[in-house]
Structure 1
Amino acid sequence: MKRPLLSLAFVALSSPALAQSEGAASAASAAPVTSAAASSATANRITTVDVMSISPGERGYTPELAAQGIQGKVVLHLKLKPDGMVEVATVQTSSRAEALDQLALSMVQRLRYRTSLPTPLTEVLAPIEYRRDTLASLPEKRCAEFMLDAGYYEKTFPEQKLRSMPVVNMTAGMLFLGKGAGDLSQRMKWLKQVEAAAREIRNACEREPEAGYLKTFTDLAVAAKP
């Protein structure tokens, strides 16, 4: 099912960390678990925590890995000790990059999971997403970098359309929500223009690899005829 663009910008903003590094003085607290999740955890002793988003230079995700276009999401199945530390970690869903899967498995060994449940969790599914791009980095991204990312995505996820790339979703959502004021008809027109740009960004970047990715995307949206 295609994800509505209206929700995309919220995906781009990372949610609060759900685990903290052991001994870290300023580690973030876990987000509260909803009542539905609490019921599920009580019944099955397993729940899914929010996505932890990791950028280049953080937690072992080196700029060198990112520069190769290597990115993706791994979901780990964790069995926890009573104190919230990880006892056993296995890959539930691979990122399709062995380097990222191993980074995630190594990283969670240093995390302590916390929730607001009266009964501590014993098992969780922990999604960890390695993203080359952030909202702050998009203005500096060149089309040549996007083409490298696109090549990796096409090779690694051949069953997916390029339109599903996280960076394309992030950019489309940012442009749509950043439009600001306007009546419903104007915003729907802009939505269609942004979607048209998302479909054309690969061809445009292929033509001008040294152009700015975000500027190219924005220009395509402005020029699009809905």
Structure 2
Amino acid sequence: MLAQIVLFDGFDPLDALGPYEVLFAGGLFTDGDLKVELVTAEGPRDVPSGTPPLSVRATARLSPERADLIVVPGAAGRIDAPDDSELAQRVDSIAHHLERALASELPGLLRDAVERPDTTVATVCAGSLMLAVTGLITGRHATTHHTWNRDGLARLAEHGVTPVEARVVDDGDLVSASGVVSGVDLGLHLLERFHGPRVARAAEKLLGHDRQGLVWRAEGPEPHTV
């Protein structure tokens, strides 16, 4: 199994490296059956994060035809004011980083990934909004960080996505996590889904982390209002 973690200029380091470390640990506990790569739309390069001067080296190109799992992080930077404000145009703002990523080859590659029946796409924080604004997850259930750039969940709804206020949302071949640190919980959930609870628990113990919150799915009866 191959997992690819997408990097782009201005990415949030923990959004990407939290799932990376969990999945890397999964590779250890599966005797190499799970492999994980850091990738970009352009190929191998040093990628500046949104928390300078930190950069991370991507070793391969995003390849939907090769990957079984693709994880899309959000961006880091100044918390954005409304889209038409001067702040949103700053080169160190989250909105600017996402706008640059969406102007690259990345959306086309993500479209290929979403359309492949055997590929699972996962997101952390504003990664789900990148998919939403490009129309790739219309009609799906997803979550995102709820505070940045107005209300993140409302922005998902504006783009035809059904927002869910949960730490991790599993909508089949689309799995999303809410904000930053929840990417670790996302990674553990994915590890359990693909390789079982024993492997996931082994990674959880190795990392010294206990998962938080339920994984939301569109299953079971609707709860009564209380």
Shorter-chain TM range is: under 0.3
Higher helix share: 1
TM-score, with structure 2 as normaliser: 0.27
TM-score between the two structures when normalised by the length of structure 1: 0.27
